[in-house]
């Protein structure tokens, strides 16, 4: 099975740097760095940062989805 041509193209969609989830993660990370909160919060802050970044990825426009 050959993959469609648009899978081999470089991504052209833009992602905003900050949103609510990523700012929450950065705030928790800052609190851990300043020793204001327990280091256990570091795991939650990493999850917030990653989910905040992932939620801003938009679907590519003008391309069909892969039909199996």
Share above pLDDT 70 across residues of the chain, in percent, rounded to a whole number: 59
Residues spanned by the domain of 23: 15-54
Identify the band that residue 18 occupies on the pLDDT scale cut at 50, 70 and 90.
Answer: confident
The reply to whether 61 falls in a domain is no
Residue 47 lies in a domain: yes
Nearest alpha carbon to residue 24 among 59, 54, 50: 50
DSSP secondary structure code for residue 15 in this structure: -
Q: What are phi and psi of 23, to 5 degrees?
A: -70, -35
Q: Is residue 48 a part of any domain in this protein?
A: yes
> Does any domain span residue 65?
no
Decide if 32 is inside a domain. yes
Q: Would residue 7 count as lying in a domain?
A: no
pLDDT score, position 34: 96
Q: Work out how many domains the chain is built from and give that number.
A: 1
Q: Is residue 22 part of a domain?
A: yes
pLDDT tens, residue by residue, 38-67: 999 999 999 998 888 777 666 656 555 555
Task: Give the confidence band of 29 by pLDDT, cuts at 50, 70, 90.
Answer: very high
């Amino acid at each position: 099975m050959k993959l469609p041509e648009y899978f081999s193209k470089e991504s052209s969609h833009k992602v905003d740097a900050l949103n609510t989830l990523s700012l929450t993660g950065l705030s928790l990370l800052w609190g851990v760095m300043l020793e204001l909160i327990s280091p256990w919060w570091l795991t939650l802050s990493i999850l917030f940062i990653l989910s905040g970044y992932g939620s801003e990825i938009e679907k590519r426009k003008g391309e069909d989805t892969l039909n199996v």
